[in-house]
Chain A
């Protein structure tokens, strides 16, 4: 089954070899349970350290056993040191800005590739494919020059702009649109619907699972992006979460305030973790489709 075609459904299925439970001997399974526990330790430490009173001292900091008199002091301190509402706002602006423009660009381009025939189609298709090969992360230096030339240095628009077009998103939408029966469009054509009307009333509503998969991947990757905003942003009030957290960590590290660092990290990643726990399956399947992002 091709997860590209139905990104949501496939994860609900057992893998065929598992149906007899032989390839996973008990020992291997126990080993993976152990790994999963180890994988959770940093998160566990984060929560325990956040709630630990500073009076416990630095040597108690590494204890994974929680102090039974938890305190919210660390969260309050972290909240006071870092400008978290501002960081959240900036990151939200960046992610929604990118996603909104991307929806327009990938829908239009995806439709052109899926449903129209035109001169030079193969060539232009390869141009899009080339974008995936050029590893955008590496192009930070020339792109910074361009952003500065456009007068967008130290602006959120400058952070967003290189991602307004998405070859990956275009391919994803092309695939989704191709799966829609042409009969539906023919009916709309007879009713006299134009290109935009057909995209809006037929293609977009019928491709919502692909849109949501793309949205999850796009938002997660730009939510977590660090290097590019680090280069573009200079003013403290324009920092996104990742830059804010790194500055915050450096400040608190100097004073050995590990409880505060844990609290700051918790503040930053809690919304992500909660969203993930609610939409777990959707997240996981979206990530599989994103293998070529």
Chain B
């Protein structure tokens, strides 16, 4: 097996610098061939479903798709302009921004509180961690099925226990003013336990001697939180912000199950808009233009997350 032999030997190019360039390149290629063969299966799928997909999005965004009557034609930036002028899209972007801020901030604040309170490892905290983590495991569709009843007007769990205190019972999912908030509540419930894990991991990295020294100097819990823990956890906060931000754009299953973007587009989020354009209106051009815009924004966000990971030397 030549693959085995080649990989077994370290890449050595004796006196290669004296050979002509072509020969040197082909020697380098030969020496690298085993590695290339090992990478090939991964690269084929990555090329087809990631790099190729981005290429197809760009091309699709520039074309008007063929109809039974007309062939597909090049329209340049028309799709992009049409998407930006589409009130449904701009509405979805605004909704998504509200949704992102309204889910990222509370779920992170809760996650940090959970991590601080449950940082000791014993039977009680393990049980509490498990309870808070449970929603992370179940499909968003299942969570939505449960929350459909919780938000049911008049008879639902929420109205049954708390709604009675309100002067008027809102139709939580049916009213444009409350539907987006209801969607946010599920998201916070579903994700806070996940972010808690990163804060728990981050708290472990807080140097014990710094805490000890501050304690001996008479610093109270708040001072230690403010001057040691928070600065120490800054990268974790940044990292979780990015993860949570990405989730706010890529998690839309609950919109499908609970509201279908309604009422009157109040819960229409960007990914749901893309899906609707492509699958329900067969408007691949517009869907691709919207995809391209979101990809640009999210790539910046993920690039930031990688810088954070790199700064933390090896991961969260």
Interface string of A29-72 (1 = CB under 8 A from B): 10111011101111101100100000000110111100000000
B98 within 8 A of A: no
Closest to B250 in A: A137
A269 and B8 contact, Cβ closer than 8 Å, known pairs A104-B41, A165-B43: no
In the complex, the number of residue pairs spanning A and B with C-beta atoms less than 8 Å apart equals: 359
A265 near B145 (CB under 8 angstroms)? yes
Alpha-carbon gap, A283 to B137, bound state (A): 9
A21 and B120 contact, Cβ closer than 8 Å, known pairs A42-B147, A194-B1, A287-B197: yes
B35 near A43 (CB under 8 angstroms)? no
Q: Which among A25, A33, A141 has the highest number of chain B CB atoms within 10 Å? A: A141
Q: A127-B43, A197-B4 are known; give 4 further A-B pairs, CB within 8 A.
A: A19-B208, A36-B132, A108-B41, A146-B49
Q: How large is the interface on B (under 10, 10 to 19, 20 to 34, 35 or more residues)?
A: 35 or more
**30 A-B pairs whose Cβ atoms sit less than 8 Å apart in the complex:** A3-B316, A10-B204, A16-B206, A16-B211, A17-B203, A17-B229, A20-B215, A23-B225, A28-B116, A32-B113, A43-B134, A43-B146, A61-B149, A108-B38, A109-B41, A134-B53, A135-B302, A141-B287, A142-B288, A144-B278, A164-B45, A194-B7, A195-B4, A197-B4, A245-B141, A258-B152, A272-B137, A288-B201, A291-B198, A291-B315
A262 and B315 contact, Cβ closer than 8 Å, known pairs A124-B39, A194-B1, A226-B253: no
Q: Which of B15-23, B26-34, B83-91, B175-183 contacts A (4 or more CB under 8 A)?
A: B26-34
Closest to B135 in A: A39
Partner of B204, one of A16, A49, A144: A16
How far does the Cβ of A188 sit from chain B's closest Cβ, in whole Å?
10
Alpha-carbon gap, A268 to B200, bound state (A): 30
Contacting residues, chain A, for B42 (C-beta < 8 A)? 105-106, 108-109, 128, 165-167, 170
Contacting residues, chain B, for A268 (C-beta < 8 A)? 139, 142
Closest to A275 in B: B137
Closest to A135 in B: B298
A187 within 8 A of B: no
Contacting residues, chain B, for A138 (C-beta < 8 A)? 249-250, 271, 274, 291, 294-295, 298
Partner of B119, one of A24, A175, A264, A269: A24
Contacting residues, chain A, for B203 (C-beta < 8 A)? 15-18
Partner of A231, one of B11, B134, B189, B279: B279
Alpha-carbon gap, A43 to B129, bound state (A): 15
Interface string of B79-102 (1 = CB under 8 A from A): 000000000000000000000000
6 closest cross-chain pairs (CB), A and B: A194-B4, A118-B32, A62-B160, A165-B45, A16-B208, A118-B35
